Each structure stands twice: as structure tokens, then as C-alpha cells.
Amino acid sequence: MSIPKDLFYAKTHEWVSLEEGIATIGITDFAQSQLSDLTFVELPEVGTTLEAGDEAAVVESVKAAADVYAPVSGEVVEVNEELEESPDLINIDAFGKGWLFKLRVNNESDVDALLDADSYEDLCPQD
């Protein structure tokens, strides 16, 4: 299971990369492995304002559907349109090409409530 050290993590298994006030958000390697083969992704609309903890997206797999929550508050400024045709990009590259959406963050201190890589790893069940 991959857990990059340079990202922030939510207890609900989203990751956040923050750069110049823009948060890129996806689901973690652990989350995609639990869901298995992803078949559909429903992304938020650009312009939508989300509060931390709001349902932001849905990912569906052959096993189940799962809500994706906004780990920080902000306005959706971009979505990963490639996922509409290739939701399996999340399975292939959860921390890269499999990102879900980007938010213009309202308050960068929101990330203070998130976990670092070591704390997130402690949260994940070990096989």
C-alpha cells in the first residue's frame, strides 16, 4: 500500500495535495484497493462550493459504491474529465492520473485537521 509522505489525508480515505491555494483531491491507494475495479465516477460540477465533510463525488466499483468527501472547504475549479471514460485510472494511479477534483481552498488552515502519512497509515488495517 502506497502512502506518499508529501500529502495530507482524511480519515475517510481522501488525499490532498495543496499548492498555491489549490487542493488536488483523490482517494487513497488503500480506498481504491478496498473498492476493487472502479467502473464509474460521478464528479462535482465546476463552480460548486463545498464545506469540509460534504459529499463531493461518488466512485462505483464492481463491489460497491462509495461517497468521496471534501477534506477541505472551497470552490471546485477543475474535475478530472479523463475519469468519465477511464475510471480505472484511479486503480492504476490513485495519487497521480487518478485525481478526482481540485478546489480553490477557502482557508488553508483546513489542512491542519488532516492526517500526515504516518497517522493515516496507523488508521488503515494491516493485512
**Percent of the chain surpassing pLDDT 90:** 83
pLDDT digit string (tens) for 43-77?
999 999 999 999 999 999 988 899 999 999 999 99
40 within domain boundaries:
yes
* Contact between 55 and 106 (Cβ < 8 Å): no
Quick one: which of 105, 101, 84 has its CA closest to 39?
84
Residue 111 lies in a domain: no
What pTM does this model have? 0.93
**Is residue 127 a part of any domain in this protein?**
no
Q: How far are the Cα atoms of 14, 36, 66, 99, 110 from residue 105, in angstroms, in the given order?
A: 15, 30, 24, 16, 8
- Stretches where the chain sits below pLDDT 50 are none
> Per the structure, how many domains does the chain have?
1
Segments forming the whole domain that contains residue 34: 8-106
CA distance 70 to 126: 25
Q: What is the pLDDT of residue 127?
A: 57
pLDDT score recorded for residue 100: 98
Rounded Cα gap, residues 124 and 119, in angstroms: 9
pLDDT of residue 64: 87
Specify the CATH number for the domain of residue 35. Answer: 2.40.50.100
Is 1 among the domain residues?
A: no
